[in-house]
Amino acid sequence: MFDILQQWYHRHFTDPQTVIFAFILIAGGLLVFVLHAHLLPILVAIIIAYLAEGLVAWLHRVNLGRTVAASIVTALMITAILLTFFVLLPLLSKQVSELFREMPNMLGKGQQLLLQLPNKYPDYVSAEQIEEVLTLARIELTSMGQRVVSISLSSVVGAITFLVYMILLPLMVFFFLKDKVLIMGWLADFLPEERRLLRTVWAELDIKIASYVRGKVIEVLIIWVASYIAFALMGLNYAMLLSLAVGLSVIIPYVGATVVTIPVALIAFFQWGFTSEFGWLMVIYGFIQFLDGNLLVPLLFSEVVNLHPVAIIVAVVFFGSLWGVWGVFFAIPLATLIQAILKAWPSEDLIAE
């Protein structure tokens, strides 16, 4: 057993660069895992600055100073934040309030439909089974209401913290963009002079992760806008809320679209019943999902991420359980990072060359 472990060690860890790279990975991973709640604003600012670097570089190439280019990008970011706070959030809040007010009517209609099932299909559904389902639904709704109240009562401090972060975030993004060269040079001083392995991994990640995240943001916006236009033209209630959910659902591959279809179909059914409006809405919604999977995804992510579907699902489950929404969003980039590390990791044969 010891000989096997010794052979494995010599095969993968005889190169000093490999040891240094492994140490950086372990130290960075532990730092993020232990302090991610405290480092979240900094990590978000780094990610936004990384994504905005392309626009800053383009503005810099058209003879604008880096400080001016960083100021323009930061101003665009602040504008987006203000639009979200003063336009989008009030509209979403209004629709959420309307949905909660309408919920008892929807539940009453759903209960009537369920109670009719034992009469229509006595061989498959019994009244006792329906009563059990309704009891579980009432318990879950009561628990959900209690959670909402507890969150609302304890969210004052969180809201203040969030506002502070919203002020600090643009400032951090601005300085990350403006002083990128200085910051990268400072970080490079802590790395060894010979860092071929780091350069190899970074060269692949810089292309794939940036392209993936930018493409995913574009995909969310396109699906969100397309869904809102379709829902609004059809007159569907809560069009903005549902379209936002549809747009965000593309973050989770394979699962998101399936999950978000349920509220869309239920609200359409409670509004129109099994009518032609319901049918046309579901056809248009299915067409949007078809275009996303067969047109947008190939155009935006062609050859960017070459991962097996099983690897993608495992990454979403694993990183989502660690870091929630952020873990789900960055599951595929993180899986791509692991793939790039495994491909670039020196083996005994490469070291011998």
Residue-averaged pLDDT of the chain:
77
Span 210-267, pLDDT tens digits: 777 778 888 899 999 999 999 999 999 999 999 999 998 887 766 778 888 988 998 9
Select the more confidently predicted residue: 2 or 179: 179
CA distance 284 to 126: 36
Give the pLDDT score at 233: 94
Give the pLDDT score at 236: 92
> For 168-180, b where at least 16 C-beta lie within 10 A, e where not — what string?
ebbebbbbbbbeb
Span 4-59, pLDDT tens digits: 666 655 655 555 666 666 677 677 777 766 766 677 778 778 878 877 888 888 88
Span 73-119, pLDDT tens digits: 899 989 988 888 888 888 888 888 888 788 778 777 777 777 777 77
Give the pLDDT score at 159: 62
- pTM score above 0.85: no
Domain ranges of the chain: 1-180, 195-353
